[in-house]
Amino acid sequence: MELLNEHEIYLIAKQCGISNVINWTFEEFEDKIIGYLGDHLHLIIQAESNGIISKTKLFVKCMPRFDKWKAEYLNELNFFKKEYIMLSTLFTEFQNFEGLHKWRPKLLFIKEDLFVFENVSLQGYVMPHHQETLTFEELKASVATLARFHAQSYIFEERRSKMLGRPYRIWEDYSDYLQEPCKGSDWRNTGRNAVIDFLKEFSEYRSRSNFNKYLDLVVPILYDKAIELMKPSSEYRNVVVHRDLWTNNIFLKKEAGLYHALFVDFQTVLYCSPMLDLSSLIYFNTSRSDRNTWTDKLIWFYYAVLAKELEYGGVNVEDIFDKDTIMEAYEKSIVFGMTQAGLITPIVAMNKFKREEIFCNPESSRIANVVTRSKEFIDYAYEDDKYRARVTELFDEMVERFVLPQERGENCEPFK
């Protein structure tokens, strides 16, 4: 299978300022789980100038080449097509400044089943360790990048509105690519069921007489509510949200004592309330005690960066969100952040060998995606105390916020 032909290689080399190409090769990533929603490779281009041979290493993402089921599954979900459309059309309208205002790596070449990017690891960016939560400074950097990314949706819409002489929204042109695919429900249902099974095994509240009854009743409602929240909001201004900001999709660089973050992998983007991104970013990457301490600070930091970025684009933040509204929107988004973390964190918090065993083998990957993954999570929790503690505290927060109030007959979000 030829990933790139000679003409395409020369186009990429030209983008990098490379002439006199003499050879090129592809190098597999050692960590297979990095390429969970595609294959990730390095493209190494060799060039010669004045007798000196140089090598340029770039990052390549392509459709799975050796896992037929996963490739077909990604096609059914339209994930690669979605990212292709974003990168090749809409995101070309979004400003992606250099330096600290940059929010994604530079795209060098694109076709429907393959993307080539600059290799930001050579610039000092690193992916956080998947089994660790982020520090406050790392989170602040990620929140700042999130605000910059979101600001581009508003700036684009406001400029297009002025040009058309009427209100314009991104949904008009990109609705086919900014909604949750119907066929994605199997993956969500499998993860939801794993949350219920895990709680029945490990929850602090599992001995309560009506616990299983209310768990089976409430958790599916929460996941249904999350699906509703993934649609364009009628209450708040919507943006293109990333929706999947866990450690594999964040690159961090520390320079002069400050962190800067870049985001990758836009396969699961949606058009909805921006607070879904903020709440899920926080729930994916924090412990419960850190969430309790940092959440309000991170919301206000997001708002401050958003205001500044919008000002650069000639937009007043008060025309988008005021401070009361953004707090209200965040509170309503928590059910999404918590349930989405319920799907992702049990996978993220495993060591890489266990994740590869479950999610990189074609047969086990198919089962874990659309049939069941409960036993794998429960078995691993018995093997790894740290894993069990991290997942249990996240799931029990869901219990305390949503399940126990229903058991007590209290009326709380999202049941009002």
Each residue's pLDDT expressed in tens, for the chain with a length of 416 residues? 689 999 999 999 999 998 899 999 999 887 655 556 788 999 999 999 888 899 999 999 999 888 888 888 888 888 899 999 999 999 999 999 888 889 999 999 999 999 999 999 999 999 999 899 999 999 999 999 999 999 999 999 999 999 999 999 999 999 999 999 877 788 899 999 999 999 999 999 999 999 999 999 999 999 999 999 999 999 999 999 999 999 999 999 998 889 999 999 999 999 999 999 999 999 999 999 999 999 999 999 999 999 999 999 999 999 999 999 999 999 999 999 999 999 999 999 999 888 888 887 777 777 777 778 999 999 999 999 999 999 999 999 999 999 999 888 877 667 66
Specify the residue for token string 């659309």: 370
Beta carbons of 367 and 381 less than 8 angstroms apart: no
Residues 6+ apart with CB under 8 A from 82: 177, 178, 266, 267, 268, 269
- Cα-to-chain-centroid distance, residue 16: 28
Residue 33 has a pLDDT of: 54
Q: pLDDT tens for residues 270-326?
A: 999 999 999 999 999 999 999 999 999 999 999 999 999 999 999 999 999 999 999
- Nearest-angstrom CA–CA distance, 308 and 374: 44
Which pLDDT does position 133 carry in this prediction?
97
Cα four-point dihedral sign 323, 324, 329, 334: positive
- Residue 240 to residue 260: CA distance in whole angstroms: 21
Greatest Cα pair distance in the chain: 79
Edge-to-edge strand ranges of the sheet holding 52-62: 21-28, 39-49, 52-62, 114-117, 107-111
The SS3 of residue 251 is: strand
Strand 21-28 versus strand 39-49 pairing type: antiparallel
Among the four given CATH numbers 1.20.1420, 3.90.1200, 3.40.1000, 1.10.3470, the one describing domain 126-407: 3.90.1200
Compute the mean pLDDT over every residue in the chain, rounded to the nearest whole number: 93
* Domain-wise residue ranges, the chain: 126-407
